[in-house]
Each structure stands twice: as structure tokens, then as C-alpha cells.
């Protein structure tokens, strides 16, 4: 495969609003509290050459289209999707693995206990910014006080961590990372949209393949560790991304 660092859209930095998004310390959220949330201004998306939403939605066609566009193995995308959400395309919040983000970043929440309050609030700010984007029809990407994530605030079918998509500095200024993509061309970067999420994963894999020169290492970097069997699986029975990649190869005969 060629090492081509292409991007779905061109992202530029812009001010998101010099505010920090306050997190209530209890579950009583008044209308006043919600209305005080800043309305962010987002980095401009260059959609002069938008990708067309693939026919079939949650299908092998989507995976193949994204893989071809970013020159990454389709089996790797299929494997990460399988490991991260058991091939979900929606249904966020159904099941014990999905937690209300506003609860887990509280002082006694699961995110805080695992990663510390500073780390969780940094990603909370990015999550609020992602949720606050407005589509052409006026709808928001999500409600930050209701959206459900993993205990690490990872969002959607490919489990993207918010600050890995959009970063907010101490002054409230934000910029898209090189992982952000609006593949379905609805004007927002949405980790819950399977097309957007797949494209963001492909961008990450392509970047890390350029770094490591090895797809196994690029996949392990998605998890953040080269040591814990994310790609390879474990003797304890965790299948790992490569196990699903083999399934993809057998099913589709696409074994690149």
C-alpha cells in the first residue's frame, strides 16, 4: 500500500469560545444551567469535495469505501469496529457498558476514579464542544448531559476519545485534530455517525502506519499500548482486532 496522508476535509483552527464548560456537582440540572452553556464557534470545514454517503449505510460497502479512500486495510477497520462496539451503528446508552458522561466525570465518577479529574474534565470540555455542533437542519450532535460513553468518555461505534478529535486550550480556543472527518457531509464531525467514525479511525491508522511502518503496530496504537494484545488477542480468550480481520478476509476475500 502507498503511504498517502490524505484527509476527508481540510480543518483550520478557530476560537471555540473562551469559556470552560461547568459540570454540575449533582444531578439537578436546571434550564438556566443548560442555557448558560456557551454556543461554540467551530473550525471551518472545507466541504468543496465532500464524500458522498455510501449506499447501504452499515455495510461492507462503507468499510470498503473508507478503506480505499484512506488506503488502509478494510479488515483492520472491521476488526476495530468489532472490538470497540460489537459492530454497533447506534443504540448508544443501551447496555451496561454505556455510561452517562456527565455522571462519570464527577468527583466520585468512574472516569475520575480511573484517570483523575483533570484528564476527565479536559475530555469533557471536548465532548461538550462535539455535542454542540449544529447540523443544517438545526439539530445538535448530542446532549452532553445525556450522551452515553465508555468510562473513558470514548464516543460512538469506534470509541473516539473527545480530545483526540477536537482540542481546547486553557483559553477556551479549540482546533480540530488530524483525526477529525465529516465523511457523511452533514456539516458536523460526529463520532456517533458510523461513516464519520470509520473515516476518523482510518485517518488515525494511516498516520500510525506512516509512523511505525507496520499495520499491527498501527492497530495497537489505536488502543494506546503495544503490549496488551489489542491487535493480537490474548490467551484469556480476547479475540483481538486481527482475529476479526481474518474473519473479514475469509468472508469477503479482501485480505490486504
Q: Please state the rounded mean pLDDT for residues 48-73.
A: 70
pLDDT digits (tens, 9 = 90+) for 188-212: 999 999 999 999 999 999 999 999 9
Which structural domain, as residue segments, surrounds residue 98? 21-42+62-252
- The mean predicted confidence, pLDDT, of the chain is 78
51 falls within a domain: no
Q: Please state the rounded mean pLDDT for residues 130-152.
A: 91
Dist CA 34 CA 107 (whole Å): 20
Residue 233 has pLDDT above 60, yes or no: yes
Q: Please state the rounded mean pLDDT for residues 227-251.
A: 86
Q: What residues does 10 pair with on adjacent strands?
A: 46
Predicted pLDDT at 237: 75
Tell me the residue ranges of DSSP E strands in the chain: 10-11, 14-15, 45-46, 99-100, 148-149, 166-168, 173-176
Residue 78 has pLDDT above 70, yes or no: yes
Dist CA 200 CA 178 (whole Å): 9
Instruction: State the pTM of this model.
Output: 0.79
Predicted pLDDT at 58: 56
Residue 186 has pLDDT above 80, yes or no: yes
Domain count for the chain: 1
Length of the chain: 256
81 falls within a domain: yes
Q: What residues does 146 pair with on adjacent strands?
A: none
153 falls within a domain: yes
49 falls within a domain: no
Dist CA 184 CA 8 (whole Å): 10
6 falls within a domain: no
Q: Please state the rounded mean pLDDT for residues 38-56.
A: 37
Residues of the chain with pLDDT > 90: what percent? 47
131 falls within a domain: yes
Dist CA 114 CA 149 (whole Å): 15
Judged by average pLDDT, the poorest of 42-51, 160-169, 219-228 is 42-51
Q: Please state the rounded mean pLDDT for residues 145-160.
A: 93
Bigger pLDDT: 80 or 170?
A: 80
Residue 158 has pLDDT above 70, yes or no: yes
Predicted pLDDT at 238: 80
User: What string of DSSP letters covers 140-155?
Assistant: BS--TTT-EE-TT--B
Cell of 239: 479475540
Sign of the Cα torsion 53, 215, 234, 179 reads negative
Confidence of residue 29 (pLDDT cuts 50, 70, 90): very low
Predicted pLDDT at 34: 37
Amino acid at each position: 500500500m502507498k503511504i498517502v496522508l490524505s484527509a476527508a476535509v481540510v480543518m483550520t483552527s478557530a476560537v471555540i469560545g473562551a469559556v470552560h464548560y461547568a459540570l454540575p456537582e449533582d444531578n439537578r440540572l436546571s434550564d438556566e444551567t443548560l442555557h448558560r452553556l456557551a454556543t461554540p464557534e467551530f473550525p471551518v470545514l472545507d466541504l468543496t469535495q465532500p464524500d458522498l454517503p455510501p449506499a447501504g449505510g452499515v455495510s461492507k460497502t462503507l468499510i470498503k469505501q473508507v478503506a480505499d479512500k484512506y488506503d488502509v486495510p478494510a479488515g483492520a477497520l472491521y476488526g476495530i469496529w468489532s472490538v470497540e462496539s460489537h459492530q454497533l451503528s447506534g443504540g448508544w446508552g443501551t447496555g451496561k457498558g454505556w455510561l452517562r458522561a456527565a455522571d462519570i466525570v464527577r468527583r466520585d465518577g468512574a472516569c475520575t476514579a480511573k484517570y483523575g479529574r483533570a484528564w476527565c474534565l479536559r475530555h469533557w470540555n471536548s465532548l461538550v464542544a462535539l455535542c454542540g455542533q449544529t447540523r443544517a437542519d438545526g439539530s445538535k450532535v448530542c446532549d452532553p448531559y445525556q450522551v452515553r460513553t465508555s468510562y473513558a468518555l470514548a464516543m460512538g461505534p469506534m470509541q473516539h476519545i473527545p480530545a483526540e478529535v477536537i482540542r481546547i486550550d486553557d483559553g477556551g480556543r479549540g482546533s480540530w485534530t488530524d483525526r477529525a472527518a465529516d465523511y457523511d457531509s452533514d456539516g458536523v464531525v460526529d463520532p456517533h455517525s458510523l461513516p464519520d467514525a470509520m473515516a476518523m479511525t482510518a485517518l488515525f491508522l494511516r498516520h500510525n502506519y506512516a509512523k511505525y511502518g507496520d499495520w499491527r503496530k498501527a492497530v495497537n496504537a489505536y488502543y494506546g499500548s503495544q503490549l496488551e494484545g489489542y491487535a493480537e488477542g490474548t490467551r484469556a480468550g480476547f479475540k483481538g482486532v486481527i482475529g476479526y480481520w481474518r474473519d473479514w478476509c475469509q468472508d469477503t476475500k479482501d485480505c490486504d
